[in-house]
Amino acid sequence: MESFATVFPYNSTASASQAATYSNDHNDDYEQFEDDHDQNLDLIRKTLNCSSDEAALDHVSPTDSEAGNDLNSASGSGVKKGLKKIRKPKCAFQTRSQVDILDDGYRWRKYGQKAVKNNKFPRSYYRCTYEGCNVKKQVQRLSKDEGVVETTYEGTHSHLIEKPNNNFEHILTQMQIYSTC
DNA sequence: CGAGTTTGACCGGCGC
DNA sequence: GCGCCGGTCAAACTCG
């Protein structure tokens, strides 16, 4: 990711319609921002101009995240019965990059890949491998602009960054946020 | 051998 | 009710 220009101006109709594809989950009860040592996401939120309250992606404490694991595993395998699914808010942003994966300092494990409608590139699904941390992200290259990678974070890390990365702030300068925080 | 990736199958939500 | 679609699981596989 060397040369990049700002892409997707906020007020373009294109980005507006794309943003509309992401559900806004502010209605869920995210009370407070507990994870103040989550440096990168905090940085993202600042870049996003999110308030801390609205950016409280989830009330994830180490114990809460275990409950989150239960919920998510249940939703995936269809075991969940009678439990209303709690959807976490998502932060989505786009970067112009040759590589799909941003090195944000966390360790991710890929758990799925799907072809999505109206996009010739598959969407990849990643989960944070830190024990008890239930953060997920989706990575997808845009078919309409192959140089742009769209990354969607879901949840809040419950641990310190594993590989402090000085370049992350650099990455942030490339980000164009168009969604839900 | 452990960690991570691939990929087909499965499930739930949603629109018609 | 049915079919489509997105998201997840899990076994097999690859890689260091």
d(CA A147, CA A104): 19
Distance set, CA A149 to CA A19, A40, A47, A94, A179 (Å): 15, 18, 17, 6, 14
pLDDT given at position A171: 60
Å from the A128 CA to the B3 C1': 13
Query: Which positions of strand C lie within 7 Å of protein CB atoms?
Result: 5-10
Express each pLDDT in A93-115 by its tens digit.
Answer: 787 776 666 667 788 899 999 99
| Three-state SS at A93 | strand
Å from the A108 CA to the C7 C1': 17
Please indicate, yes or no, whether the overall pTM of this predicted structure exceeds 0.75: no
d(CA A93, CA A153): 9
Express each pLDDT in A149-164 by its tens digit.
Answer: 888 888 877 777 666 5
- What share of chain A has pLDDT > 90, as a percent? 7
